[in-house]
Structure 1
Amino acid sequence: MKTLLLLYLLIATAPLLRAEEKRALLIVIGEPGNALYQEEFQRQAKVWQDLAAKAKMDADTIGLGDEPSDGDRPGLEKAIADMPKNDGDLWLVWIGHGTFDGRAAKFNLRGPDIEATAVAELLKPFQQRLIVLNLFSASGPFVAPLSGKNRVVVSASRGGEKNYSRLGEKLANSLGSADADLDLDGSLSLLEAILHASAAAKAFYDDAQRVVAEHAVIDDNGDGRGTGTDKFKGLRADGAAPDGALSREIYFLGDSADPLTPEAREERTKLESEIEALRQRKKDVAEDDYYAELEPLMRRMAKLYGK
């Protein structure tokens, strides 16, 4: 027990020192449909642009300004194709409306829309960590095709829920809210921001005495199934293979950057999954056996931090 406590303390106090990784952000604004949505989508884009500037991220935005004669899809495809394929995190933030007819899920662009399968093809060459935030209605079917190793995929809706999604506007608010720091460690992780925004979206429906019309989903273990944000208790979700481990490690601002290399982060995510699976079995394992299994996992974790 004392040994395990010491290992926990060593990991928790490991210095956050590593070379700055170059990160990129692409913000995609869809067809607003009316002036009210246009104003809100522009507000959200401004929040992300300001965040990128503060975090010293390379940022580009599609869907603002005059509409090209052939719509935004060609420019979007070129922007994704031109992005680095294996250098630092790539963030894709989709703000707008979506549709799902039971077969094809689409994001509504100005001009021709883009299908989930087409986005998946565009992302195939990328080898680095991807964070894809589908902040639009009917975005649930985007989870499976975009899911993969070392990827976080968030969708504002479960399945084809087609009403306007409020997750995007609530997330924009959460990014600047001290209340979103759920574990009170002074840094805002992606998971914390998504859970806080999802709770705020639900509160909107509850306050208006309306049926909740959207249920956010997060997938970061690569199985393509995703976990509803309502399944989380604190920063952990129930289940044998829960999502959340990778998104807990991702922070918006560079000064909260992870101390580990990409390879070490991948190993840490694997270890955290093993530790979580063991934790799920704790009630069925003798105490001595539980800690006998836990100790080598924690030793391997400490080794990642040079302890």
Structure 2
Amino acid sequence: MPGADDGAVDLERLCQTTGVSAAATPAVADLLVLVFDIFDVVRLTVEPTTGQRLIKANAPAAGLFLSSLAEHVRAGQPILGNWDRAGTSEPPYHIQQVLAGPQFLYLMEQQRMEVDRSARPLRHTEVSQIVIKVGFPLLGRRYLMLYDGAARQYQLPGGHRRAGDQDPRAVAVRELEEELPGFVFDPRRDTLSELGAVEVEQLSRTFGVVTRYRITFFQLLSTRRVVPVGPDSRWVAEAALLGDAATVKGRTLNIAGLRRLVDGRPGGLTGLAEGIGVHRGPALAEIVREKPWEILGLIVGVLGLVLTLVLA
């Protein structure tokens, strides 16, 4: 392939010099044009009189990219790999991340969405998500968010519908039992109240492609006094949950579907009754996480009072 500072050559003749037969040359040339256009690495001009397609690299770096690509082909060395690894990450990236197949795919799809906000989804899935709203002493009302290690985000309890799931409610029950340690759904004291369904199109942080999600929301109503949660769970206030730049422990929240649901519900999340009343779970840990300086001040104050009484 001629460099950017060299003269352009006839594309079909270039194909034939590499051993492509005359019969296959037009098809191969068309395919090369498609590939080169996707990577935006060549400048193609068509002679108006002869119809010849003349081609060369469109910039010095583009020519070097093609040379590097050729060396990979000669060596039989793949450029991308690790396709069996689910999940993507945010920048900055190191080489093992950016050249991992799912991560590279995610960046490609991210650009496709930025160019076309109505980009066609390549994947469709059904999801059930569960709102668990409780009341904590001192903290007030909170919503349970779980950390998704593959997507590297916090989201409501729930997950995708599987082949054996009868309906969205069955998905919700299964996901609660899988995601809450030791939880077994008991119809005598547990109820799932359906809140509605929404459709959202967004990039999947797990599979890396534009995906259309149909999300059915439920609220867990229970006579339980405690909801068992794991170490990566967080109880989040409504203002923090739906804030414009909401994060938990520096991680973003996957709440596009929840926002759409709330926008269509009178009273939003605030209008929902507490599914579980006064929660007797580990509220102290939540208080320390949310108000460390207030707790430190309280401890210092108590210690000061004790010392005053001792020394008096």
TM-score for both structures, normalised by structure 1 = 0.23
Q: Which has the higher strand share?
A: 2
Q: Which has the higher helix share?
A: 1
Structure number with greater Rg is 2
